[in-house]
Amino acid sequence: MDLTISRATTLKDRPEDSDLTFGTLFTDHMFNMDYNPEKGWHNPRIEPYTNIDMDPSTMVLHYGQAIFEGLKAYRTDTGDVQLFRPKENFARFNRSARTMCIPEFDEGFALDALKQLIEIEKEWVPKTTGTSLYIRPTIIAMDPFVGVRASHTYRFFIILSPVGAYYKEGFNPVKIWVTKEHVRAVRGGVGHVKTAGNYAASLLAGDKAQKAGYSQVLWLDGVEQKYVEEVGSMNIFFVFNDELVTPELSGSILPGITRDSVLALATSWGIKTTERKISIDEIFDAHKNGSLKEVFGTGTAAVVSPVGVVKYGDDIITIGNGEVGPVSNRFFSALTDIQYGKTEAPAGWIEKV
Ligand code: COI
């Protein structure tokens, strides 16, 4: 497949790094590619950023057959631009495609196209530490049809957004709220892939948490509502004494790339890591007996997000005096140092653009 490139004739004003928030501004160009059963994935192109023209009956609007990814490009001190573990994102994207009955794509081709898109948009990659270019690959069902089945046609697109911190708290502890009233994902469902509906399903509980003064929901499993699964849209980690523990990938948890990176770094540093079921009662008991040292979320958007307060029913606990603990700090520094090219990365983690 040949990638065609058409350039925008007028360019947008680029923001100052200090004005960047998350996900509100998009660059001048995007990648597009279409699928139909006759041609497969075809017509890959980089073109000016523009609206997607669709019939009101387009399937994605009705049944949510949509998948996406989130990854970032970082600018190093020498001015280079680099991606953090992008192959993992495209591999997960194809796993999401299989789960959502979407045709798979060529991962190597998509990564090359992304690199070319970023090359064109290089000036949009911000320079200040804490900022980056957020990359959002997406595939949506395009058949104009309101019967329920998998679509026959699809659009694959990639858009780019220069970003600052994801949470208004920045790298500061957030307060989280445990709910038994709502679940994010169920056994046999689609919680393990990055599909739009998982995020839609999280909104009402997220809203209730915010109204109660908390920034995130701590999700419990959908079967017994007993075991911790995720926090907001991130994976979650606990430090019990010297051990790092995270929920095992049960089928309803997203296999985060930052999650995997934290586990790999911890192992390389000689920290004991365990992936297992963790009940919410165990967490409150561990707080009571002093063994719960730290709690933090991990994700592409925030990297590491320390948790300061957890509310469960009428019980509220404060972790580490509500301050950022040394383990969260160490992971945040190590990951961001790798992402910004300040330290050497484990083999295969960094792709230069
Ligand atoms: C993440 O990167 O942690 C997320 O999942 C947030 C994203 C959906 C904006």
Amino acid occupying residue 179: T
What average pLDDT does the segment 47-59 reach?
Answer: 97
User: Which tokens sit at 122?
Assistant: 């290089």
Which residues 6+ apart lie within 8 Å of 169 measured at CB? 215, 305
**In testing the pocket of ligand 1, which one of 166, 193, 203, 231 has its CB within 8 Å of the most ligand atoms?**
166
Q: Pairing between strand 243-247 and 303-312? A: unpaired
CB 205 within 8 A of CB 179: yes
CA 109 to chain centre: 22
Ligand 1 close to Cβ of residue 246 (< 6 A): no
What are 266-279's pLDDT values in tens digits?
999 999 999 999 99
Indicate which residue's Cα is closest to atom 8 of ligand 1. Answer: 233
Ligand 1 close to Cβ of residue 299 (< 6 A): yes
Which residues 6+ apart lie within 8 Å of 293 measured at CB? 239, 240, 241, 319, 320, 325, 327
- By CB neighbour count within 10 A (0-12 exposed, 13-18 middle, 19+ buried), where does 294 fall? buried
CA–CA dist 94, 193 (Å, integer): 10
pLDDT of residue 321: 86
Q: Is the pLDDT of residue 25 over 90?
A: yes
What are 60-94's pLDDT values in tens digits?
999 999 999 999 999 999 999 999 999 999 999 99
Ligand 1 midpoint to CA 24 (Å): 14
Ligand 1 close to Cβ of residue 301 (< 6 A): yes
What are 172-218's pLDDT values in tens digits?
899 999 999 999 999 899 999 999 999 999 999 999 999 999 999 99
Ligand 1 midpoint to CA 233 (Å): 6
Q: Is the pLDDT of residue 168 over 80?
A: no
CB 324 within 8 A of CB 172: yes
What are 102-131's pLDDT values in tens digits?
999 999 999 999 999 999 999 999 999 889
Q: Which DSSP string do the residues of 252-315 spell out, in sequence order?
A: SS---HHHHHHHHHHHHTT-EEEEE--BHHHHHHHHHTT-EEEEEEEETTTEEEEEEEEEETTE
pLDDT of residue 171: 82
Ligand 1 midpoint to CA 70 (Å): 7
Q: Is the pLDDT of residue 34 over 90?
A: yes
Ligand 1 close to Cβ of residue 206 (< 6 A): no
Q: Is the pLDDT of residue 169 over 80?
A: no
CA 60 to chain centre: 21
What are 334-348's pLDDT values in tens digits?
999 999 999 999 999
Supply the mean pLDDT for the chain. 96
pLDDT of residue 351: 95
Indicate which residue's Cα is closest to atom 5 of ligand 1. Answer: 233
What average pLDDT does the segment 29-34 reach?
Answer: 98
Ligand 1 midpoint to CA 299 (Å): 6
What average pLDDT does the segment 167-175 reach?
Answer: 81
CA–CA dist 237, 235 (Å, integer): 7
pTM over 0.85: yes
Indicate which residue's Cα is closest to atom 9 of ligand 1. Answer: 301
pLDDT of residue 1: 82
Q: Is the pLDDT of residue 140 over 90?
A: yes
CA–CA dist 335, 303 (Å, integer): 8
Place of tokens 């501004």: 25
Ligand 1 close to Cβ of residue 22 (< 6 A): no
Ligand 1 midpoint to CA 140 (Å): 18
User: Which tokens sit at 154?
Assistant: 């699809």
Ligand 1 close to Cβ of residue 96 (< 6 A): no
Q: Is the pLDDT of residue 316 over 90?
A: yes
Ligand 1 midpoint to CA 306 (Å): 15
Specify the ligand 1 atom closest to the Cα of 298: 3
CA–CA dist 259, 68 (Å, integer): 18
Alpha helices in the chain (DSSP H): 59-63, 86-99, 107-120, 196-200, 203-211, 257-268, 280-288, 326-339
Indicate which residue's Cα is closest to atom 3 of ligand 1. Answer: 299
Indicate which residue's Cα is closest to atom 7 of ligand 1. Answer: 301
Q: Tell me the residue length of the chain.
A: 353
Amino acid occupying residue 217: V
